[in-house]
Structures are given as C-alpha cells and as structure tokens.
Amino acid sequence: MANFKRGQKGGKRPYFGLTGGWLTFWVSVACSTDMTLFGYDQGVFGGVIVTQDFLNTLNLNGPEHTSLLGTVTAIYDVGCFFGAIAAFSIGERLGRKKSVLLGTIVMSIGAILQISAYGVPQMIVGRIVAGLGNGLNTATAPVWQAETSKAAWRGKLVVIELILNIAGFSLSNWITYGFSYVNGPVAWRFPLAFQFFFIFILFATVPWLPESPRWLIAHDQVDEAEQIIADLEATSVDDAYVITESKEIQWAVQYERENGVGWLDLLRGRSGNGTSTIRRLILGAGAQAMQQLAGINVTSYYLPTVLIQSVGLNEKLARLLAACNSVSYLAFSTIGIPNVERWGRRKMLMYAATGQFLSYLMITILLRYNELPGYSGSKQVAAASVAFFFTYYICFGIGFQGVPWLYPTEINSLSMRTKGAALGTASNWAFNYMVVEITPIGIQTLQWKFYIIWTIFNASFVPIVYLFYPETSDRTLEDVDRFFRENQNVFIFTDKDAISSKRPARYIEHEQAEVRRNSSAIGQNPEANKYRLAAIERANRGDFDDEKGAEEVEKV
C-alpha cells in the first residue's frame, strides 16, 4: 500500500515530522518563493535597461534602438508563454513538485546566460530560457498551493504568494536603485545574479514537500493521496473527513473521465456533458488577460522610463520614485489578505478595476496638459500625475494582483486544473508580451494618448466581472465542480448562490451528510477499525516491513 511505502523504518516520518498547519506553511514557503522570484524578474529589468553600462555593453543607446530594447525586454514574456504552454502536458505528467523543480533548473540556466551576456543575441537567448522556466513555475505553483490548502485558507495563501511577488518586485527596484550609484558592469550584472538567492531556497524546500493529493488521486495513487490529506489535516487516514475528502475527489475524477473532453474535442467545439469545460477555461484565462490589459506592465517594466519620458523627471529621481512606489504597492496589497475571503473574488476585482480606471483617467488628463504647448502649469500637472501612478498601484495591489492568479486554480475542474491554470498563465504572458513590446514605442509616438487605452480597458472590467464571473470564495474545489454541473447559464449575476461570498448552505449540508455517513461506516466494525489503526501505528513505527504492513491492514 502506498501509505506504507512513504514511511521509513526506525520511526522516521516524512516532511521532518511536520503535519497540519506547519506542513501547509512550508508548501506556502516554496510556492511564495517561486512567486517572489517571478516578481523580482518582472522588476529588475526595468532598472537594468536605464543603466548606462548595460546600454553601452549591448550597444542599445539612442532612440533608434528603442524598438530593439523593447524586444529584448519583452522576449522574456515569449519564453514565459511557451513555458506555461509546456505545463499543459509536462505539468500533468510530472506532477506539481517535479514541474516546479524542472522550471527552477531552466531558470537557473537562463539567469547564467543573462549575467554573462556581452551582446544582444546572448541576452535574448538568456531571457527566453529564463522565461520558459518561469512560465512553467508560475503555471504550477498556484495550483500546487490551492490543491494542498484548506478551503478557508486557500484564497489567503495564494494572495500572500502574490503579495510576496510584489515584495520581489519592490526588492528589485531598491537593488537597481542602490546599484545605480555603482559604476561598471556590476551595476546591472549583480541585480540579475541576485535571482539565485530565490533559486537556492526552491532547491532546498521543494524536494521534500508533499505532492498534491488531487494530482495523486487523478493518477490512481489513492493510498498516498489519503496519507497526504491526513498529514495536511494533522489526523489519521481513518478520519471521517479524510475519507470524505478522498471520495469527493475520486468521484470528481471519475465524473471527469466519463464526461470530460480532450484538447482536440475542445478545438472542435465540444464542451463535454455538463462539465462546462470551455466556459471555465475562458473565465480563468479571461481573469489573467484582464490583469495584463489593466496596464500593470506599462509601469512594472517601464516605470523609470515612463517617469523620465512622460513626466520629465531625471534618472535618479525616477528610480527613487519607482522604488518608493513599490513599497506603497507592497504595503497596500496586504489589504487583500483578510478581504479576499470576506469580500470575495468578484468584489475584489470590481473595486480594484474602478480605482484603476479613475487613476488612469487622471493620469491621461494630467499628462495631456503636461504636453500641451505653452501651458504654464506643465510642471505642476506632471508632478500631480505621479500621485495617480501611486493610487493605480494601490488599487491593483489590493484586488488585481492576486485574484487573477487564484481564480484559474479554483474555477477549473480537477482534470483541467493544470491545463486551465497553464492556459490562464499563457494568456497572461501573451498579453504581457504585447504590452511590454508596444509600451516604449507607444510612449514615444502617442505620448499622453497612449494612456487612454488602459483607461478604457479598466472601465470595461467592472461589467464583465459582474455579469459573468461566479464567486469561488469559501467553497471547496468540489463545490465549484458541483456549481458548474448544475448551472449552465453564462449570466450569473441573478443567481444568489453564484455571487455570494459565503459558502451556500446546500453545499455545507451535503458535506455534513457525507461526513456523518462515513463516520457511521467506520463505526460499524469498531474492533476491525481498532485493529487497523494498531497495524498502521506499528507500520509507522517501523515494527515490520512494508509488505507485511500492507498484509496486516488488508486482513481487515
């Protein structure tokens, strides 16, 4: 039996003896480190591309190289896109842990290529390779976190991951600002090399942590999955909750096998018998696309450039304000931790989109007057526009930073969860690439009109979320499956259960009935159950070998 194979003789326990909250904590450390590295990578190149030694070394000085500089920056997102696409198949075959380890190895190779680059070709290759690893990791880590977390913790933990993503972004801004006072190649090579701080943490944590029990059940490793569920809950494999959870997941897997559809069928327009597969994929990918079309990477990758070219600040002040903004961004994003469950995913997105729309509207108006020939107050309106870059980041950090990454891991069915998260991540990177590629040219040619684009997009997100996006907070992943089996209407705003931030009563009643039924089943043969528990305890102590332990339990 798989649960015995995980044990070791001599009383040794897996995961250094950690169970319950502490085991979940260390899974969160690994997933959060992965997302912190993602945030660091997002921010570091924005500081690198305004470093004079970097521009001289790679011969990227002058306005004639603006387009090439945008390509060198954005090509990273192409790698991320294909890394996320690779998670479709690789991630489902390898599992969550091995996928993260593979992505981290690939990122290490890409980082080395960037650090040692003396020309544009090597830098482009390094950025693509690093992107491949990051795309695989960012498509996998939120799924791993969601599938090993309790429903009450899931939203908070994934939001914390994305807050640490902002922490990585903030750290990259301060490191590049500090090294802007250093001459020579170390001013940009060290900030790129600092990625290895996070890579080493991933190599030190991921290998010994538990695999997703939902992935294990989907691959017919039920015994090991039940033991992991028990470890995560700090209980035994015979606990009624563990049995209920395992049966719920097994039922969902079987239903998907019977009614789910493959990629070829999806491309032919077949959506399955009652699983709403295409609808769920579109909702998850749409949330990720909205995050990028909100205009965050106009400023994440290029805020120093935006402040220099659009607002008219000098390089040092632009770097300093970018670093200060990242601290404000980080601080206000913590508001999302308690409120992602309290307000729910829908309200978080709609509140944030409203604030982002108003911020970009004010930025557009103020920069219009800043660029107006002969306007006497141009310096004052330019300075005022900086405040609205800050308010934009505050609103984005509260709602749009975390929820679009969380939503695809919740909204998709078990068999499609990896694929759905990967498709969502791929759509994020595809739109990310578009935004990062067009921003330098857009600022240079359209000037203040460039910001109208992001104003309109943010305004459109409020009705889109209100009409189409069902709530997932305070629900188990199996609750979400049940909702889509029972509700085929794409317009959900009139359904009270679909928009409530609290778990619907009928889901609670169903779970309680299942727990009572499984508790009753366990209690029907107390002597046998007692014998089985004793055999498991002896096996855990290493009193007999794996095969004998399995035989002892099978006697029951």
Higher pLDDT, 467 or 502: 467
Is pLDDT above 60 for 5?
no
The fraction of the chain above a pLDDT of 90, given in percent, is 28
Query: Quick one: average pLDDT of 196-210?
Result: 94
Query: Quick one: average pLDDT of 488-513?
Result: 85
Residue whose C-alpha is closest to residue 194's, from 173, 215, 219, 225: 173
The answer to whether 198 touches 36, Cβ cutoff 8 Å, is yes
Mean pLDDT of the chain: 82
Residue 206's pLDDT band, with cuts at 50, 70 and 90, is very high
Full-model pTM = 0.69
Concatenate the DSSP letters of all residues of 15-44 into one string: GGG--HHHHHHHHHHHHHHHHHHHHHHHHH
In this predicted model, what pLDDT tens digit does every residue of 338-377 receive, in sequence order? 888 888 999 999 999 999 999 999 999 998 988 888 888 8
Going by C-beta distance under 8 Å and a sequence separation of 6 or more, which residues neighbour residue 74?
A: 433, 436, 437
Cα–Cα distance between 455 and 476 in angstroms, integer?
35
Torsion of CA 507, 511, 517, 523, to 10 degrees: -160
Is pLDDT above 70 for 411?
yes
Count CB atoms within 10 A of the CB of residue 3.
Answer: 23
Cα–Cα distance between 75 and 85 in angstroms, integer?
16
Return left, alpha or beta for 17; rule: phi > 0 is left, psi -120 to 50 is alpha, else beta.
left
Going by C-beta distance under 8 Å and a sequence separation of 6 or more, which residues neighbour residue 246?
A: 213, 217, 222, 225, 226, 229
Cα–Cα distance between 68 and 49 in angstroms, integer?
11
- Predicted local confidence at residue 547, as pLDDT: 43
Query: Quick one: average pLDDT of 259-276?
Result: 63
Is pLDDT above 50 for 556?
no
Residue 130's pLDDT band, with cuts at 50, 70 and 90, is very high
Residue whose C-alpha is closest to residue 275's, from 263, 257, 288: 257
Cα–Cα distance between 122 and 552 in angstroms, integer?
60
Q: How far is CA 38 from CA 421, 507, 521, in A?
A: 16, 36, 47
Cα–Cα distance between 226 and 223 in angstroms, integer?
5
The answer to whether 114 touches 192, Cβ cutoff 8 Å, is yes
Cα–Cα distance between 421 and 26 in angstroms, integer?
22
Cα–Cα distance between 329 and 318 in angstroms, integer?
16
The answer to whether 225 touches 210, Cβ cutoff 8 Å, is no
Cα–Cα distance between 465 and 471 in angstroms, integer?
10
Is pLDDT above 70 for 271?
no
177: which 2 tokens? Answer: 């600002």
Q: Which long-range contacts (CB under 8 A, 24 or more apart) does 228-236 make?
A: 228/148, 231/14, 231/15, 231/19, 231/20, 231/23, 232/19, 232/20, 232/23, 232/24, 232/148, 232/150, 233/20, 234/19, 234/20, 234/21, 236/533, 236/536
- Predicted local confidence at residue 26, as pLDDT: 92
Residue 549's pLDDT band, with cuts at 50, 70 and 90, is very low
Count CB atoms within 10 A of the CB of residue 332.
Answer: 20
Cα–Cα distance between 370 and 382 in angstroms, integer?
6
- Predicted local confidence at residue 539, as pLDDT: 46
The answer to whether 39 touches 301, Cβ cutoff 8 Å, is no
Concatenate the DSSP letters of all residues of 419-441 into one string: HHHHHHHHHHHHHHHHHHHHHHH
Residue whose C-alpha is closest to residue 198's, from 208, 206, 188: 206
Highest-confidence range of 127-131, 179-183, 414-418, 522-526, by mean pLDDT?
Answer: 127-131
Is pLDDT above 50 for 431?
yes
Residue 398, CA atoms < 13 Å, CB-side half-sphere: 21
Cα–Cα distance between 224 and 221 in angstroms, integer?
6
226: which 2 tokens? Answer: 């039940």
* 210: DSSP letter: P
Higher pLDDT, 142 or 300: 142
For the chain, the maximum distance between any two Cα atoms, rounded to a whole number of angstroms, is 92
- Predicted local confidence at residue 523, as pLDDT: 56
Is pLDDT above 70 for 262?
no
Residue 10's pLDDT band, with cuts at 50, 70 and 90, is very low
Is pLDDT above 70 for 203?
yes
- Predicted local confidence at residue 134, as pLDDT: 92
Query: Quick one: average pLDDT of 91-100?
Result: 88
In this predicted model, what pLDDT tens digit does every residue of 17-70 receive, in sequence order? 888 888 989 999 999 999 899 889 888 888 888 888 998 999 888 777 778 888
Is pLDDT above 50 for 552?
no
Q: How far is CA 313 from CA 320, 362, 364, 384, in A?
A: 11, 19, 17, 13
Higher pLDDT, 103 or 537: 103
- Predicted local confidence at residue 7, as pLDDT: 36
Cα–Cα distance between 108 and 408 in angstroms, integer?
27
Helices 315-333, 378-395: axis angle to 10 degrees equals: 30
Higher pLDDT, 396 or 406: 396
Highest-confidence range of 169-183, 353-367, 368-382, 405-419, by mean pLDDT?
Answer: 353-367
The answer to whether 99 touches 215, Cβ cutoff 8 Å, is no
Residue whose C-alpha is closest to residue 411's, from 479, 464, 342: 479
User: Which of the residue ranges 26-30, 125-129, 158-162 would you say has the lowest mean pLDDT?
Assistant: 158-162
Question: How far from each other are the two terminal CA atoms of the chain, in whole angstroms?
Answer: 14
- Measure the CA angle with vertex 214, ends 210 and 218; round to 5°: 120
515: which 2 tokens? Answer: 């727990």
